[in-house]
């Protein structure tokens, strides 16, 4: 993909602490990002990652921390949040979902958080999950978009139906096409150079997949399983469940498109 160019070198205000949880869904492991403006006392952590004490202690070594931000509520991003907060002397954990917020307020779309030399804007990007947000971070003249699982450093993400929603996801990708030449710091995989370019490629990929699924349905596939067989013939059995999720999300989207107002699934 053209816009998917890994960043050679992270800015000096960004540190990656990668969790030791590699796998087919987590790529090399969950990326925990530590942001600290030059000379600032307090850092900000984005996505604590899994409940792995070694990982959480490596993050805590970058303290003190003003707050811990969460891109969305999947366990590989938030499971370690309470323990990390404890290791950091009670740093607040801020998330869009109150269930994952500890010692602070729930994040609102468009809200700005500041202090310690960085400005952070909460960008509402539901779709991968209902509670997914991205964080646009400014440090001096530099910016970066922290995307969680909305955009990954490699491959494409899954719409975790029914919590995730494809129409919302396409809108969110559209929103991210506004950020030309803003580096992406994703939840998994390498950092990328251009948020807008990657978002456009994700949109193209989704439209291609939708066309393939329309064709599979027209050719007689009547269940999500049959569609997965037709559209993802060589899928690794370890991630087949994710293809089924995404396919359900896409069938749901196509059904709503052909029957506006119908939110009920009938034959799945």
The footprint of Zn ion (CB under 5 A) covers 74, 149
Contacts of 223 (CB under 8 A, 6+ apart): 267, 268
In angstroms, give the least distance from the CB of 22 to Zn ion.
Answer: 15
In angstroms, give the least distance from the CB of 208 to Zn ion.
Answer: 22
CB 84 within 8 A of CB 48: yes
Q: Which phi and psi (to 5°) does residue 113 adopt?
A: -120, 140
Whole-number Å distance between alpha carbons of 268 and 252: 9
Whole-number Å distance between alpha carbons of 148 and 185: 8
Give which of 28, 18, 16, 2 is closest to 196, Cα–Cα: 2
In angstroms, give the least distance from the CB of 146 to Zn ion.
Answer: 13
Closer of 78 and 216 to Zn ion (Cβ) = 78
Closer of 36 and 72 to Zn ion (Cβ) = 72
Whole-number Å distance between alpha carbons of 60 and 45: 9
Closer of 79 and 201 to Zn ion (Cβ) = 79
Alpha helices in 19-158 (DSSP H): 53-60, 75-78, 81-87
- DSSP letter string over 249-264? HHHHHHHHHHSTT---
Closer of 66 and 172 to Zn ion (Cβ) = 172
In angstroms, give the least distance from the CB of 189 to Zn ion.
Answer: 13
Closer of 19 and 118 to Zn ion (Cβ) = 19
In angstroms, give the least distance from the CB of 203 to Zn ion.
Answer: 19
In angstroms, give the least distance from the CB of 149 to Zn ion.
Answer: 4
Closer of 94 and 159 to Zn ion (Cβ) = 159
């Amino acid at each position: 993909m053209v816009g998917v160019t890994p960043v050679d070198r992270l800015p000096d205000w960004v540190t990656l602490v990668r969790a030791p949880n590699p796998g087919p869904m987590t790529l090399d492991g969950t990326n925990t990002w530590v942001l600290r403006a030059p000379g600032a006392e307090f850092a900000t952590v984005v996505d604590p990652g899994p409940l792995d004490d070694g990982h959480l202690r490596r993050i805590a070594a970058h303290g003190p921390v003003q707050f811990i931000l969460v891109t969305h509520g999947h366990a590989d991003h938030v499971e370690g949040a309470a323990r990390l907060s404890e290791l950091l002397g009670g740093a607040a954990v801020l998330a869009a979902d109150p269930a994952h917020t500890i010692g602070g307020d729930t994040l609102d779309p468009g809200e700005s958080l500041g202090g310690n030399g960085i400005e952070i804007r909460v960008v509402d990007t539901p779709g991968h999950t209902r509670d997914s947000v991205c964080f646009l971070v400014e440090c001096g003249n530099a910016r970066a978009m922290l995307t969680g699982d909305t955009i990954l450093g490699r491959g494409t993400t899954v719409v975790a139906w029914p919590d995730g929603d494809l129409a919302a996801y396409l809108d969110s990708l559209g929103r991210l096409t506004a950020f030309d030449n803003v580096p992406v710091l994703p939840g998994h995989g390498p950092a990328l150079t251009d948020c807008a370019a990657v978002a456009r490629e994700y949109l193209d990929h989704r439209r291609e997949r939708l066309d393939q699924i329309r064709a599979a349905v027209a050719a007689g596939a009547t269940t999500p399983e049959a569609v997965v067989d037709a559209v993802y013939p060589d899928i690794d059995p370890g991630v087949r469940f994710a293809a089924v999720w995404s396919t359900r999300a896409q069938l749901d989207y196509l059904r709503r498109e052909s029957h506006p107002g119908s939110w009920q699934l009938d034959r799945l």
